[in-house]
Amino acid sequence: MASCLSVLLLLCLALAGSVSGQQLSATFYSRSCPRALAIIRAGVRAAVAQEPRMGASLLRLHFHDCFVQGCDASVLLNDTANFTGEQGANPNVGSIRGFNVVDNIKAQVEAACKQTVSCADILAVAARDSVVALGGPSWRVLLGRRDSTTASLALANSDLPPPSFDVANLTASFAAKGLSQADMVALSGAHTVGQAQCQNFRDRLYNETNIDAAFAAALKASCPRPTGSGDGNLAPLDTTTPTAFDNAYYTNLLSNKGLLHSDQVLFNGGAVDGQVRSYASGPSRFRRDFAAAMVKMGNIAPLTGTQGQIRLVCSKVN
């Protein structure tokens, strides 16, 4: 009898662990909301078809979410009386975008499956679907994240790497999230799409020497030297193929045409030069490594089981 009770106790503990454990699964919604992935994909495709830049914006939303208290959709929360959200943080204010696309997708998912699919999972899937829509690799998105009930302005200001970082700072920033230096170089390839504001590359244009002269001259036309003049003017992070997800970001680095300081430091006589050369010589390794690193990034401190909640509207706590 004692032996039988012991077995039953172990079985109950195992079942409890499977319910509240930290493992994500690619098939998490296969029964509870089988149409979820198709709805998200259709929403992303429509948004990117209307505005190709939106693909980069949705990818950036997922990154800025995961690096601040984990992949929990905290970046989507508006300010409340109880906390100041992350959208006003220095790395986000005036630049983070795509909220309307996420809200529209969430509304469609809610219509299909009430309070089942988290906003955090929508961000993760939308990032993958955005990359695919722009011609990049696909990967199996692990699902089962839940949404946070708070956000952190302070962590958004401290944990998101700024464009002024060098390789050592970037490596430390990614290591703090469980990502390797190789992951950092691969994920930096997300800058093969998207745009940056003049205020984030002005210092590079006027104060750095490891920049192609013609490239810099062309950029200076829309990014004047005086601070406050043209700060929000945009330039593509990849001038070669700005709306195609390919390996041109790395070939640009070989020619000293990285837009941000944090881009060009990846190829500047340092430890990661070899990895940049490898990605520049052909897209296959980059595509493989980027996809693998995105899976790892998507697994940063997710809320699972009974943690957090499934928000009904992504911008506010239930």
| Lowest model confidence (mean pLDDT) among 12-21, 255-264, 294-303, 309-318 | 12-21
Contacting residues for 199 by C-beta, under 8 A, at least 6 apart = 227, 231, 232
| Cα distance between residue 42 and residue 305, in whole Å | 28
Over residues 80-91, the mean pLDDT reads 95
Contact predicate 290/138, CB 8 Å: no
Q: How far is CA 305 from the centre of its chain?
A: 23
Contact predicate 297/160, CB 8 Å: no
User: Is 52 assigned a ligand-binding role in the annotation?
Assistant: no
168-204 residue pLDDT tens: 999 999 999 999 999 999 999 999 999 999 999 999 9
Higher pLDDT, 290 or 9: 290
Percent of the chain with pLDDT over 90: 92
For 45, list phi and psi in degrees, rounded to 5: -60, -45
| Cα distance between residue 26 and residue 141, in whole Å | 6
User: Is 289 assigned a ligand-binding role in the annotation?
Assistant: no
192-243 residue pLDDT tens: 999 999 999 999 999 999 999 999 999 999 999 999 999 999 999 999 999 9
CATH number (3.40.140.80, 1.10.3720.10, 1.10.420.10, 1.25.40.20) of 179-296 reads 1.10.420.10
Tokens of 52: 């190709």
User: Is 263 assigned a ligand-binding role in the annotation?
Assistant: no
Our answer to whether residue 261 is catalytic in this structure is: no
Higher pLDDT, 300 or 9: 300
| Cα distance between residue 127 and residue 108, in whole Å | 17
For 18, list phi and psi in degrees, rounded to 5: -70, -25
User: Is 129 assigned a ligand-binding role in the annotation?
Assistant: no
247-285 residue pLDDT tens: 999 999 999 999 999 999 999 999 999 999 999 998 999
Looking at every residue in the chain, the average pLDDT score rounds to: 93
Nearest to 210 by CA among 273, 160, 279, 275: 273
| The pLDDT of residue 10 | 39
Over residues 111-118, the mean pLDDT reads 98
Over residues 89-109, the mean pLDDT reads 97
| The pLDDT of residue 215 | 98
Domain with CATH 1.10.420.10 in the chain: 179-296
User: Is 193 assigned a ligand-binding role in the annotation?
Assistant: no
Reduced to 3 states (helix: H, G, I; strand: E, B; else coil), residue 83 is coil
Contact predicate 62/71, CB 8 Å: yes
| The pLDDT of residue 22 | 59
Domain with CATH 1.10.520.10 in the chain: 35-160
User: Is 273 assigned a ligand-binding role in the annotation?
Assistant: no
- Per-residue pLDDT at 136 exceeds 60: yes
| Cα distance between residue 186 and residue 275, in whole Å | 9
| Cα distance between residue 197 and residue 278, in whole Å | 29
Active-site annotation holder among 64, 106, 204, 261 = 64
| The pLDDT of residue 200 | 97
228's torsion region: left (phi>0), alpha (psi -120 to 50) or beta? Answer: left
User: Is 74 assigned a ligand-binding role in the annotation?
Assistant: yes
12-60 residue pLDDT tens: 333 333 334 458 999 999 999 999 999 999 999 999 999 999 999 999 9
- pTM of the predicted model as reported, rounded to 2 decimal places: 0.92
**Domain boundaries 35-160, corresponding CATH code:** 1.10.520.10
